[in-house]
Amino acid sequence: MTHSIYVKIDKKRLKIMGKTLTEKIIEKHLIEGTLERGSDIAIKIDQTLTQDATGTMAYLQFEAIGIDRVQTELSVSYVDHNTLQSDFKNPDDHRYLQSIAAKYGIYFSRPGNGICHQLHLERFARPGKTLLGSDSHTPTGGGVGSISIGAGGLDVAAAMAGESFRLKMPQIVNVFLTGSLPDFVSAKDVILEVLRRIGVKGARSKVLEYTGPGIKSLSVPERGTITNMGTETGATTSIFPSDEITKEFLEAQERGDQWVQILPDEDALYDETIEINLGELVPLVSLPHSPGNVKTVKEVEGLKVDQICIGSCTNSSLRDLKISANILKGKTINEHSVLTVSPGSRQVVDHIITSGEMAYLIEAGARILENACGPCIGMGLAPKTDAVTLRTFNRNFLGRSGTKSAQAYLVSPETAAVSAIYGKITDPREFGTLPEIKMPDKFMINDNMIIPPKEGAESTEIVRGPNIKPLPEFNPLPDKLEGEVLLKVEDDITTDHIMPAGAKILPLRSNIPEISKFVFNLVDPTFPDRSLEKGGGFIVGGDNYGQGSSREHAAIAPKYLGLKAVIVKSFARIHLANLVNFGIVPLTFANKDDYTKIEQGDKLEIDLTTLESGTVALNNLTKSTEIKLDHSLSETEIAVLKAGGKLPFIKLKHSN
């Protein structure tokens, strides 16, 4: 197997070298800053997307800003997460979202229409544009050559209000692909190979830019699978060039007029190169409980499987369902296994019904679910106690399926379909001959479940159900923080650990007091009560704190409970931004070994008067020791913190 090659930048040469694809798009949208790696930049956002689990809060925040109309070229509100309607909460939120969309000039994708990232790739994503989405898998849009970045809902609300999006200029990694994929190896195995090499934090502060002759063998949906799950490496985003493959896809979607060619210069200089020969790849699998825990399917085959789920924003395209259906044609799933299929869009469903391939799935015993996220976020179809569940999804975090004792494995549609037949994890190459599938020259286009903006709708009345509560107030940051260490955690704490999803909790996304009762529910169910009782305090953590979903509730709910600062070895990008947005101070150990010098229950005092210098002093009153803390905050981020968060900061800016 070819290994990574690391390239150091010669800054003198940099001025005369060509540009990467990422640099070209960012430079075109640059409002502040330079392309120098690690520098603070601000970019113009062309498009935004929200989904209903994050969208209700994002639009409450947008309302609070006080703008009459969205300022982007295009904004879309999708309903795909909270579609399980066990009471009034979710449908009430959907009506709120629809009324907001009508009033402020936002496209509204109705419940059941499909999964936001699959739909956006089909109908809205455009080469060369910037897209900011309140979902961490927004980089799916990179499959058509768009700089698509996941962010917290407040950042998306600000972008809809015309604010620039601030980030640090990322390093750019050239993932150079050669060859073509063997039979029964697919795009999912490509991104699993990337994860096998660099893990869940190997691409933090980086963009994965795919180049090389091998990209010509990958369709746009396959590229979208790779860019979607690139999020699990910690990458800011992932992107493919916009080439003739992109043009062919957009023309098939009747959007050929939106195509522009965007390629990296031949002499573009990358910060790092990873070479992958597609022809050498084999079927891969992520083991519990991390997408980065990757092995070959051969290494784990034979393990009995209780549940198989095909779908999610990673693998619910027409290509993925076609290959799954044709593998299952004439077969019956194993009697000990359950198979579910979640199509990504109505367009996908239209095609497999018309082609007859839907019948293959039904006759094999698959349970056909709604065109939504469903089991991926624990929204129904939780597996049985101690189950082994095989999923084509992007995350297998502890408890995410809805069953804490379940063991979730991530695989390709090919591996999932073959394993469903045998009832055990099976290398799909043992199936025999790979069925041939034919993709349509033209896709079936029917946008009747997307409500476009209408002129003169500003007087639309906003519909608010009783579960939608006002935003908490955010007070300016004091010069000194005092309190107790409420919780100490290890490395790779995810936002699922901090603020779980699932059918019980997701409907509370627009009710901060109620959802706050579940903060750290998987880690320490006593955390909410202890935090309120002690008037808030601090969290201490390890490396990569806050990886995973973009859910800002993992910041705003702890803020409601009184969280003052988070002190860790390192942060995941989106969660760091969310902490700042809600006035929680994100600090890192100057010396990582100092992590061992603080225990849960210690009383701390942090002097913030030196925050602008880049370092602050932490006084552990319990142990009578002083620890030096760092941060990576820009001047603007410090100003946001001092204002009490991004919302009061924006209001203050507009009032001056």
> Cα dist. 400→315, 369, 381, 489 in Å?
18, 18, 12, 18
Q: Which residue type occupies 422?
A: Y
**Token digits of residue 281:** 């790849």
> Cα dist. 173→192, 238, 270 in Å?
17, 9, 6
Listing DSSP states for 314-380 in one string gives TS-SHHHHHHHHHHHTT----TT-EEEE--SBHHHHHHHHHTSHHHHHHHHT-EEPPSS-GGGGTSS
Listing DSSP states for 496-563 in one string gives HHHS--STTTGGGTT-HHHHGGGTTTTT-TTHHHHHHHTT-EEEE--TTBTBS---THHHHHHHHTTE
Rounded to whole angstroms, the Cα distance separating 69 from 459 reads 12
Listing DSSP states for 405-447 in one string gives T-EEEE--HHHHHHHHHHTB---GGGG-SPPP----SS-----
* Residue whose C-alpha is closest to residue 412's, from 398, 423, 432, 426: 426
**Token digits of residue 128:** 């060369």
Adjacency order of strands within the sheet including 74-78? 147-150, 130-133, 47-51, 74-78, 107-109, 450-451
Q: Which residue type occupies 95?
A: R
Radius of gyration of the chain (CA): 24
Q: How many CB atoms within 10 Å of residue 440?
A: 11
* Residue whose C-alpha is closest to residue 616's, from 640, 633, 636: 633
* Residue whose C-alpha is closest to residue 500's, from 401, 359, 412, 642: 401
Q: What residues does 482 pair with on adjacent strands?
A: 605
**Strand 603-607, strand 480-488: pairing:** antiparallel
> Cα dist. 494→50, 281, 286, 444, 546 in Å?
21, 29, 16, 38, 5
Residues catalogued as catalytic: 80-81, 135, 395, 549, 551
Rounded to whole angstroms, the Cα distance separating 367 from 109 reads 24
Rounded to whole angstroms, the Cα distance separating 223 from 219 reads 6
> Cα dist. 262→65, 150, 224 in Å?
35, 22, 17
**Strand 206-211, strand 171-178: pairing:** parallel
Q: Which residue type occupies 584?
A: I
